[in-house]
Structure 1
Amino acid sequence: MANLNNLRHSTSHLLAAAVTSLWPKAKPTLGPPIEDGFYYDFADLTISEEDLPKIETKMRELVKNWDSFEKIECRGGHVDQPSKEIKYFKLLSVAGAYWRGSEKNPMLTRIYGTVFPTQKELDEYLTMLEEAKKGDHRKIGKELELFMFHETAPGMAYWLPKGVKLYLQLVDFWRKEHEKYNYQEIVSPLINKKELYETSGHWDHYKEYMFLSETEEGETYVLKPMNCPNAMVVFASSTRSYRDLPLKLSDTDTLHRFERSGTLSGLLRIREFRQDDAHIFIEENQIKETYKELFEITEKFYSIFGLKYRFRLGTRPEKFMGERKTWDKAEAELKEILETSGEEYSILEGDGAFYGPKIDILMKDSLGRDWQMGTLQLDFQIPKRFNLKYSAKDGTTKTPVVVHRVVYGSLERFIGIITEHFGGAFPVWLSPVQAKVLPITERNLDYAKKVGKRDRQGKDYGPVKVEDFISGVRKEIDEKSLD
C-alpha cells in the first residue's frame, strides 16, 4: 500500500480526470495532497456542491480501469495500482481560490476531498468532521460572547469582555511561569523601517506577508510581522559577556501578517495576533540544556490543559540562509536532543525556518485532530547578520546562538483550538466566569450581589456573575448554559 500522501495525490489526479470528462472545457491547474486529504484547482469551471455526487460517481467509474501511472511531468508520488488502491474517498466541498494564492491572479474553482486506505478510517474521519462542525470555535465564541469579527477588519478579532478575561488569564499564567525560569519581558516598536528586516533576512524570505507603508520622505515602514529582529537589536544595545548567557528575552507584542483572504479561518488563521514569544541567547555548549528546559516548560503548559502533544523536527528548506555544513550541524544537534529526551517525534523534511531547523509542538485535540502549536527554532544565522557579539570565558569574542521559541503559538490560534477541544467548557481557572450566584427570589437579589462582590474581593475564585433577573434562574438550570 502506498503512503498516505501518494494515495491523496493520486486521488487528486482521478478527480481531475473525472471533472474534465464531465466538463471538457475545464482546465486542471494544481492538485496537491494536503494535511487531511487533497484538492484540485480548475480554471473555466463553475459548479456547486450539488455536483459532487456526480463527480464521485464518475471517479468510481474511471478508476475501475486505471491500472497504473505513466509519469510524464508530475513529480508524484503516486500509487502503483490505482484500481486496487483508490477505493475509500469522499469529495467534501467546493470553494474559490486564487491561482498560486495571489489575489492578483484569476479566481479558480477548488474541489476538496479526502481518501483513506480503509473504509473504517474514512468513516471515522467523516464522523470527526461532523463533530467538528458542531464545536466550531467561531460558533462557540459567539455563543459565549468571547470574540467577534467585522468585515472592516478581515482576519482581525474583536475581543469582547469575557474573551479578554480568558486572554489575560493565559498571558498571566505564561508570565508567572516564565519569571520562574528567569525570562525578562521586553516591548518593542510595532512599526519598523524595512532595513531592519533586510538585515535579518526576512525581507527576502517573507516580504509577501508584510503590511507595508510608504512615507512622504520615501521611507518604507513595516507593521511588525515577527519579534526576532527587535530582540537582536536589544541584545546588541549593550556589551555582553558569557556571564550574561543564557539571556532570555520574552514578549507578547502584537504582530501582523498579510495572510491571503482565502486562507483566513476564524482565530485559526488570522492577520493580527500575539505570540508568547521569547529569544534565548546562548553559547553553543548551552544548546542541549536550553532545549531540556524548553521540553520541561512545554510539558508544564500542555499538561495543565490535559493536552496530548508530540514533537516534529523540520529540516533545511529549499530556500535557506547560511552554509549547508552549519545546517547539518544544527539538525544533528536537534536530532540528538530529541533522541536523548525519549519524546515521541517525527521528521518533516524541508519544513525548517529559512534561518534554522525547528522542533514544532503538535497537539492532538478531543476529536483526534493534530494541530501545530508552538515551535522551538535553533538559529545560527540571524545573530551573524546583526553582528552580535559577546565576550567568551577564554577572552575571545564570539557570536551567540539564538533559540526562537513559542509554547502556545499565537494566543488567538491557541484559544481557537482549546475552545473546540473543550467545547467551550474551559478549565475552571481559565473560565471567563468561574461561578454564578443565582437568586431564587426577588428579595435575595441584593444579598446575592454582596456575595458576588465579597468573593471577588476575597479572591476565593475568579470572575463571578450574579443573575439580575429571577426568570434567568430557571433558564440557567434548565439549559446548563456555559459562560
Structure 2
Amino acid sequence: NGKKQVSFYKSGSYWDLCRGGHVEHPDKELLYFKLLSVAGAYWKGSEKNPMLTRIYGTVFPTQKELDEYIKMQEEAKKRDHKKLGPAMELFLFHETAPGSPYWLPKGLIILNELLNFWRVEHAKRGYLETSTPLINKKSLWETSGHWDHYKDSMFIADMGENDVYGVKAMNCPNAMVIFGSKTRSYKDLPLRLSDSDVLHRYEKSGELNGLFRVRMFRQDDSHNFISEDQIETEYKEILDIAEQFYGIFNLDYKLRLGTRPEKYMGDKKSWDKAESTLRKILKKSGKEFFIMEGDGAFYGPKVDILMKDAIGREWQMGTIQLDFQQPRRFNLKYTDKDGSEKTPVVVHRVIYGSIERFIGILIENFAGSLIKANIRTELDDRSETLSSKIRDAQNDKVPYMIIIGDKEEKAKKVAVRLRTEKDLGQKDLQEFIKAIKANIENKSLEL
C-alpha cells in the first residue's frame, strides 16, 4: 500500500529518527574524539529549504591514535597539492572544465619528464607505443562490454540518426583493434602495446578532488598480449618495473588482489583459473599483499599497487589486470607453434596509474619539493631586493638558486643556496654543474 518502515535509534538518552547505526553508550564508547569543522547545508540540497548545520568530527579507540591522526591532518594541510600546485604555477582548474586540469609550463615539464622516463625504460623492455582515437562508435564499447558495465561513467556524444559515440575512457578496446588488425603468430608474443593518450571519465562533481579525482587524465597504460604459459613471467617483469619506478621515488608499497565482482563478464571457471594464477604469482613475489574479495574489474581479477606516502597515508596507484574475456569478445587469435589457432590473454597494466594523480601525490609526498629532471635555468632580473627574490624562489620550491654579485664575479665562482634555505657558499661553476648532472643521472632525491 505504499507504506514504508521507519527506524528509531537510541544513543544514550537521545532518540533519533534515522537509518542508523548509532552507538548505544556514547559516553563510554566515544571517549577520544575531536570536532573538526562546521558547515551549512540546505535541507534536501535545495536553497529553498531551511539551512541546516552539519558538524564534522572523528573518534578513535585511543588518545594516541587520535593525536596521530590530528598530527597527520595538520601535516596534510601544509602539503595540500590543491594549494601548492597553483601557488607553484604547475596547474590550475577553471569552472568551465570541472575536473580537467590546465597544465601550466612548469607543471607540463614534470608531466612530460615522467612520461619520457616511462618511454625510455619501457622501450628497453620491448614495449611499443601507440596512439588511438579519442572517440569511437558505440559498437566498439558494446563489443568490449564497457557499454553495459561502464556507460554511466563515460562522456557520450549523440550526433543523431543513430550515430552515437563514446569518448575514450580507457585504452583497452582500441588495443584489441590493433591486435586484430593483422595475422598474429606465437612469435609476436608477448606483444606489449603502450598508450598514454588523454582519457575522459564522467566522475560525479561531488567526487572531484584536485588531481586525485579528475575527469581528464593520462595513464602510463599498456596492454600486453601473451599466451597462457607466459602469464607468470609477464607478471614478474611488470612487478620488476613497479619496483624500479617506485624505488626511484623511495616510495613503499604493497599489493592488493581483487577477485570476481558481483557483476562480471565471462564464465566462473576462467575467473577461478585467473585468480588462482595471480595468488601463486603474488606468493612467489615476496611482496606484502592481501586479498579484497569482489574488487576485480568486470573482465578479470586485478592486482593494485598501494603506496604509502611520507606522512603515512595510503594511495592506490597502478594496477595489473588479467583479462581472458575481452580477447574472446573481439575474437582475437594467434597461430600457435603447432599451427592451431588460440586466443591470447591480455594483461592491462599501469604503473604510475593516472599521471595527474601521481603528480598530485608526489607534490604532497615531497611537500612541493619535487626532484630534478633536467638542468633548466631561469633568470630573475626583476627590480626586487635580493632577499625578496630568494624568498620567492624558495616559495616556488626551486631546487638551486645561483647568486652572482661583484664578489662572485671577481672570484670567478657562483654563490649557491638550496630551497631548504641552506647556503652552500661560493662554488666553482663547472664543479657545481658536474654535481647536478651526477644527481640527475643517479636520480637522487637529495640536492
TM-score bracket, shorter-length normalisation: 0.7 to 0.9
Match of 2:26 among 60, 63, 71: 63
Q: Tell me how far apart the structure 2 counterparts of residues 371 and 427 of structure 1 sit (CA, whole Å).
A: 20
Q: Tell me how far apart the structure 1 counterparts of residues 52 and 301 of structure 2 sit (CA, whole Å).
A: 34
Match of 1:465 among 378, 396, 406: 378
Letter in 2 for 1:193: K
The 8 Å contact of residues 467 and 473 in structure 1, kept in 2 or not, is answered as no
State the 1:28 CA deviation: 3.8
Match of 1:319 among 234, 240, 263: 263
Letter in 1 for 2:221: D
Q: Tell me how far apart the structure 1 counterparts of residues 200 and 271 of structure 2 sit (CA, whole Å).
A: 29
Q: Is residue 234 of structure 1 aligned with residue 166 of structure 2? A: no
Q: Quote the residue 2:282 is aligned against.
A: 338
Match of 1:389 among 318, 326, 333: 333
Q: Give the aligned length.
A: 384
State the 1:137 CA deviation: 0.2
Q: Secondary structure at 2:236's aligned position in 1?
A: helix
Q: Quote the residue 1:166 is aligned against.
A: 110
Q: Tell me how far apart the structure 2 counterparts of residues 193 and 166 of structure 1 sit (CA, whole Å).
A: 34
Q: Tell me how far apart the structure 2 counterparts of residues 193 and 290 of structure 1 sit (CA, whole Å).
A: 32
State the 1:219 CA deviation: 1.3
State the 1:108 CA deviation: 11
Q: Quote the residue 1:266 is aligned against.
A: 210
State the 1:216 CA deviation: 2.8
The 8 Å contact of residues 225 and 345 in structure 2, kept in 1 or not, is answered as yes
Show CA shifts across 1:286-342 (max 9, x none). Answer: 000001100110011011111111111111111111111111111110110010111
The range that moved more, 170-179 or 471-480, is: 471-480
State the 1:469 CA deviation: 2.1
Counterparts of 1:31-180 in structure 2, within 5 Å, are 62-64=25-27, 83=28, 87-90=31-34, 92=36, 113-180=57-124
Q: Tell me how far apart the structure 2 counterparts of residues 424 and 345 of structure 1 sit (CA, whole Å).
A: 30
Letter in 1 for 2:381: D
Match of 1:406 among 329, 350, 363: 350
Q: Tell me how far apart the structure 1 counterparts of residues 168 and 52 of structure 2 sit (CA, whole Å).
A: 31
Q: Secondary structure at 1:367's aligned position in 2?
A: coil
Compute the TM-score of the two structures, normalised by the length of structure 2: 0.80
Q: Is residue 299 of structure 1 aligned with residue 243 of structure 2? A: yes
Q: Quote the residue 1:251 is aligned against.
A: 195
Identify unmatched segments of 5+ residues in structure 1: 1-12, 32-58, 65-82, 102-106, 430-460
Letter in 1 for 2:375: G
Identify unmatched segments of 5+ residues in structure 2: 1-6, 46-50, 399-447
Letter in 1 for 2:166: V
Alpha-carbon spacing, 1:29–1:227, altered in 2? closer, same or farther (3 Å): farther
Q: Secondary structure at 1:464's aligned position in 2?
A: coil
Q: Is residue 374 of structure 1 aligned with residue 337 of structure 2? A: no
State the 1:88 CA deviation: 3.4
Q: Is residue 283 of structure 1 aligned with residue 246 of structure 2? A: no
State the 1:477 CA deviation: 3.0
The 8 Å contact of residues 89 and 114 in structure 1, kept in 2 or not, is answered as yes
Q: Tell me how far apart the structure 2 counterparts of residues 98 and 347 of structure 1 sit (CA, whole Å).
A: 40
Letter in 2 for 1:469: R
Alpha-carbon spacing, 1:126–1:244, altered in 2? closer, same or farther (3 Å): same
The 8 Å contact of residues 97 and 262 in structure 1, kept in 2 or not, is answered as no
Q: Tell me how far apart the structure 2 counterparts of residues 272 and 394 of structure 1 sit (CA, whole Å).
A: 45
Compute the TM-score of the two structures, normalised by the length of structure 1: 0.74
Letter in 1 for 2:378: K
Alpha-carbon spacing, 1:373–1:392, altered in 2? closer, same or farther (3 Å): same
State the 1:472 CA deviation: 5.0
Alpha-carbon spacing, 1:359–1:61, altered in 2? closer, same or farther (3 Å): closer
Show CA shifts across 1:42-90 (max 9, x none). Answer: xxxxxxxxxxxxxxxxx889424xxxxxxxxxxxxxxxxxx55x54344
